[in-house]
Amino acid sequence: MEYIVETKHLTKSFGKEKAVSNLEMKIPKGEIYGFLGPNGAGKTTTIRMLLGLMRPTSGSVQLFGKDMKNNRIEILKNVGSLVENPSYYPHLTAKENLEASRKILNVPKKRIDEVLQQVRLHEVANKKVKGFSLGMKQRLGIAAAMLHQPELLILDEPTNGLDPSGIIEMRQLIQSLPEEYGMTVLISSHLLSEIDQMATRVGVVSKGKMIFQDSIETMRKFAQASIQVKVNDNEAAWRSLLANGQKADLEKESVTLQAEDDEQVAASIRYLVQLGFSIYRVQEEKRSLENIFLEMTKEEQAG
Amino acid sequence: MFSVINSEWYKLRKSKVLFLLLVAPLIGLFIGLANSSIEIEEINAWHEKLVMMNFTYAILFLPLISGVLASVICKYEHQEGGWKQLMALPVTRGKVFLSKYLLLILLMLAMQLMYLVSIYLVGVIEGITDPFPMDIVWKSIFGGWVATLPLIALQLWVSIAFKSFAAPFAINVIFTLPTILVINSERFGPYYPWGQPFLMMNIGGSTGDVFFVPWDQILTVVGSSFLIFFIGGYLYFQKKAI
């Protein structure tokens, strides 16, 4: 498989502390990759190394199959980025900020108006960025990242400071990029709900280590609902179910079915009824992605 | 490379500090006009003006203004993550450093030329009839510029290193103010980098030398301080974590 981003044993130490440890990130072309982790997990440090702003202590970064160490300039021509807080020149207007980058990137002038339109800043194009709200600065940062229509867009916490309508707009914009321009997008966030709505692949990082990396569907499978059944004799019911070949767990006051689909639930319940158990309750318990995320990062911290 | 300089020039131009370039030549102009009452027997009336004007200009304003400009060219990069944004673009750090440096020395050359205009204006206003001594004035203008090259390199280094505007300025002042004392010392004067702009602009210096100071002094003091400051700043910027 062709990876746009691939890191091998990526490690960064600050003194004795390892901010990033043996991180193996793999992003296939055309994906929206959600880079998820609590604050201070090493997301920004990783992104800085992806952009060559910071040198890894050990390990390597490959973008477009080329090593960052020796091909930095060539690689960065195809990468747009927004790292941490929005960066800008306060003494310049929105347009002038983009113009300063445009001169280096050597793209046609009309791109400036195009990207300003895309992030809906065209009406304030000639106002000084100093007076912008955080959300506007954030949108300007994204505009700057898209100026040269890069193949890879790296956005670090792009919805920080945006209001709900701004978040929705940003989400729609980001989701359209792979289809319309063939871009690959890396978005970092500490909010799972945000990643859940945009990403096609997820990498979860905690304490500098990658603890999960797969498609969003695989992650969602962890979140499948389980069915709790409360009967007059839970233990007897549990034994009967197991004897009948139905996977189930015995809880304190209920039995939890690990059912694959609705039919299986129906069959199990019917079976219990036939055996003469009194069924008090059948209820669904959802494990949210949020819970899974918390459990994942907690396990890592405990270990 | 040109595109990087172009971008730097754009950012600096929009910061509206270029009027600073006018300050020193204007002060030179006023000094030249203010001293009109003093009469010194000279072969050429221009010489008297040059000595008067060069003193304040070369000792104080040339080093100070160049330092301030070096701070400004880095200030907006420090303010809101400019370095980060700039270095995530396809440019090398070396090119960024070199572009900033080249832009600064070009601006200082422009300031020297404006100072040349100031000198001429003083003569015109005062009605000096003697022929304009271009053969020594150009040496003064060009020599003064060469002597500031190391100072600009150091100021750029310091301005990249410190986020605050005050620190580079303080360092600049600390080294510039003693110049007035040091240049009077036969022993230390020739070796003090901050004294070189004055010594190389001082038309009263040894007339046998091309730039009013011996060649070996230019090469050793100006040349070596340039190499140390420039390479130091360059390497520092390469290693700096952004």
Chain B residue nearest residue A100, CA to CA: B7
Quick check: is A65 in a domain?
Answer: yes
CATH number of the structural domain spanning residue A195: 3.40.50.300
- Tell me, yes or no, whether A205 and A263 share the same domain: no
How does A15-42 read in b/e, with b if 16+ C-beta sit within 10 Å? Answer: eeebbbbebebbbbbbbbbbbbbbeebb
The alpha carbon of residue B49 is apart from the nearest alpha carbon of chain A, in Å, by: 40
Q: How many helices (H) and strands (E) does chain A have?
A: 11, 15
pLDDT confidence of B147, banded at 50, 70, 90?
very high
- Tell me, yes or no, whether A85 and A231 share the same domain: no
The alpha carbon of residue B44 is apart from the nearest alpha carbon of chain A, in Å, by: 48
Domain boundary (A221, A242, A271) is at A221
Q: Please enumerate in sequence order all residues whose Cβ is within 8 A of that of A196, keeping only pairs 6 or more positions apart, or say none.
A: A34, A216, A289
SS3 state at A234: helix
Give the global pTM.
0.84
Q: How many helices (H) and strands (E) does chain B have?
A: 12, 0
- Token pair of A176, please? 């359209």
Binding-face residues of B in 8-47 toward A, CB within 8 A: 10-11, 14-16
Contact B81 A106 (CB under 8 A): no
- Tell me, yes or no, whether A239 and A188 share the same domain: no
CATH number of the structural domain spanning residue A255: 3.30.70.260
Strand positions, DSSP E, A163-272? 184-189, 201-206, 209-215, 226-231, 248-250, 255-257
Nearest to A105 among B10, B82, B89 (CB): B89
Q: How far apart are the first and last CA of chain A?
A: 32
Quick check: is A19 in a domain?
Answer: yes
The alpha carbon of residue A283 is apart from the nearest alpha carbon of chain B, in Å, by: 52
Q: Chain B within 8 Å of A106 (Cβ-Cβ)?
A: yes
Tens of pLDDT, residue by residue, chain A (303 residues):
789 999 999 999 998 889 999 999 999 999 999 999 888 889 999 999 999 988 999 999 999 999 998 999 999 999 999 988 889 999 999 999 999 999 999 999 999 999 999 888 999 999 999 999 888 898 999 999 999 999 999 999 888 878 888 888 888 888 988 988 889 999 999 888 888 888 999 999 988 989 889 998 888 777 667 788 899 988 899 998 888 888 888 888 888 887 777 888 888 899 999 989 999 988 887 776 677 777 777 766 654
What is the number of CB-based contacts under 8 A between chain A and chain B?
78
Distance of CA A77 to the CA centre of its chain: 24
- Token pair of B160, please? 């990249």
The H or E element spanning position A79 is strand A79-82
Nearest by Cα to B149 from B219, B77, B208: B219
| The residue type at A113 | D
Domain boundary (A221, A241, A262) is at A221
- Chain A CB contacts of B92 under 8 Å are 72-73
Rounded Cα gap, residues B177 and B169, in angstroms: 12
| Residue span of the structural domain in which A270 resides | 225-286
- Tell me, yes or no, whether A159 and A231 share the same domain: no
Chain B residue nearest residue A78, CA to CA: B90
Contact B88 A81 (CB under 8 A): yes
Nearest to B241 among A54, A87, A106 (CB): A54
Nearest to B88 among A83, A90, A100 (CB): A83
Quick check: is A107 in a domain?
Answer: yes
The H or E element spanning position A156 is strand A152-156
Asked whether the beta carbons of A148 and A75 are under 8 A apart, the reply is no
pLDDT confidence of B36, banded at 50, 70, 90?
low
Contact B15 A104 (CB under 8 A): no
- Tell me, yes or no, whether A130 and A252 share the same domain: no
For residue B25, the tally of other CB atoms under 10 A from its CB is 23
Give the residue extent of every domain in chain B. Answer: 2-239
Q: Chain B within 8 Å of A70 (Cβ-Cβ)?
A: no
Quick check: is A296 in a domain?
Answer: no
Q: Chain A within 8 Å of B241 (Cβ-Cβ)?
A: yes
Inform me whether the pLDDT recorded for B211 exceeds 90. Answer: no
Rounded Cα gap, residues A294 and A292, in angstroms: 5
For residue B158, the tally of other CB atoms under 10 A from its CB is 22
Rounded Cα gap, residues A108 and A25, in angstroms: 34
- Tell me, yes or no, whether A145 and A87 share the same domain: yes
Quick check: is A295 in a domain?
Answer: no
Quick check: is A153 in a domain?
Answer: yes
- Tell me, yes or no, whether A150 and A242 share the same domain: no
Q: Chain B within 8 Å of A51 (Cβ-Cβ)?
A: yes
Binding-face residues of B in 71-110 toward A, CB within 8 A: 76, 79-82, 84-85, 87-92
Rounded Cα gap, residues B133 and B167, in angstroms: 40
Domain boundary (A221, A238, A266) is at A221
Chain A residue nearest residue B6, CA to CA: A103
SS3 state at B134: helix
- Token pair of B178, please? 């003693």
Binding-face residues of B in 120-139 toward A, CB within 8 A: none
Nearest to A104 among B3, B16, B80 (CB): B3
- Tell me, yes or no, whether A250 and A103 share the same domain: no
Rounded Cα gap, residues A245 and B228, in angstroms: 80
SS3 state at A141: helix
Nearest to B10 among A54, A86, A103 (CB): A103
SS3 state at A108: coil
Give the pLDDT of residue A105.
93
- Tell me, yes or no, whether A175 and A110 share the same domain: yes
Number of domains in chain A: 2
Chain B residue nearest residue A146, CA to CA: B89
Rounded Cα gap, residues A177 and A181, in angstroms: 5
- Tell me, yes or no, whether A164 and A29 share the same domain: yes
- Chain A CB contacts of B90 under 8 Å are 72-74, 76-77, 104-105
Nearest to A89 among B82, B88, B89 (CB): B82
- Tell me, yes or no, whether A180 and A242 share the same domain: no
- Chain B CB contacts of A84 under 8 Å are 81, 84
SS3 state at A82: strand
Kindly provide the ipTM of the predicted complex, given to two decimals.
0.85
- Tell me, yes or no, whether A80 and A203 share the same domain: yes
